[in-house]
Amino acid sequence: MLPREKFSIKGLDALSDVELIEVLVGSGIKGSDFHKISRNILKALKRDLENESNISLQTLSNIRGVGTVLAMRILSGIELGRRVYGVFNSEAIRITNASQAYEFLKDMGNLKRERVDIVCLNSRFEYILRETVAVGSVNRANILPRDILQPAISSNSSFVLLAHNHPSGDSTPSQEDVILTERIKESLDLVGLQLLDHIVIGKKDFRSVPL
């Protein structure tokens, strides 16, 4: 299913990070399809954010298949997000407990489909990265440990927060949530990373899954 079709049928919340960019890209060029172009754009954006450098028009427009107009469109969307939602804050965001995690992630309480997000933190508990790693049906999101490990390792994290929403509005962790948490924790332990918390977000509250 193409991202625009998926958007139309399932809604914006169902799109992954790269699919959001694919909607903007629309089509590719000879020798480089829009999937590849979109992945390269996302890599460039994340690299500049991780290096705390400004995302430049030149950087994006130099990517094969992007050009000046598409680069301007993407940067305009980022700037709109910054102005409206305060996505980019010059002060470091620190998350050390479940309550702070909920304040950062409580927008997930309004989602109509189950989604799994991770937040990667450095050794000072400072925010590095937030990424959607799975989108499920109304009551289920399937996720594998590698979905967590890849972004956590590539972003050089020390701590990982896991969060998902219950579209029913009830934040009570299920037995499946407990089993998933155990699997993720064991996988992170093997590579020297710590699962700080796993929170379940309901309509108006949250609960931590027992670690």
Is the pLDDT at 157 greater than 70? The verdict is yes
Is the pLDDT at 201 greater than 60? The verdict is yes
Q: Report which residue type is found at 30.
A: K
Q: What is the DSSP letter of 119?
A: E
Q: Report which residue type is found at 5.
A: E
Q: Do residues 160 and 196 make contact, with C-beta atoms less than 8 angstroms apart?
A: yes
Which residues lie below 8 Å from residue 14, measured CB to CB, with a gap of 6+? 6, 7, 113, 135
Among 84-93, 127-136, 153-162, the range with the most confident prediction by mean pLDDT is 153-162
Q: Do residues 143 and 180 make contact, with C-beta atoms less than 8 angstroms apart?
A: yes
Predicted local confidence at residue 50, as pLDDT: 64
Predicted local confidence at residue 202, as pLDDT: 94
Neighbours of 89 (CB within 10 A): 9
- Taking the C-alpha atoms of residue 23 and residue 2, their distance in angstroms, rounded to an integer, is 9
Provide the β-strand partners of residue 126: 94
Pairing label, strands 115-121, 159-165 = antiparallel
Among 10-14, 64-68, 100-104, the range with the most confident prediction by mean pLDDT is 100-104
Written out in words, the top-level CATH class of the domain with range 98-208 is alpha beta
**Using one digit for the tens of pLDDT, what is the confidence trace for 83-95?**
655 555 556 789 9
- Taking the C-alpha atoms of residue 128 and residue 152, their distance in angstroms, rounded to an integer, is 10
Domain residue ranges in the chain: 3-85, 98-208
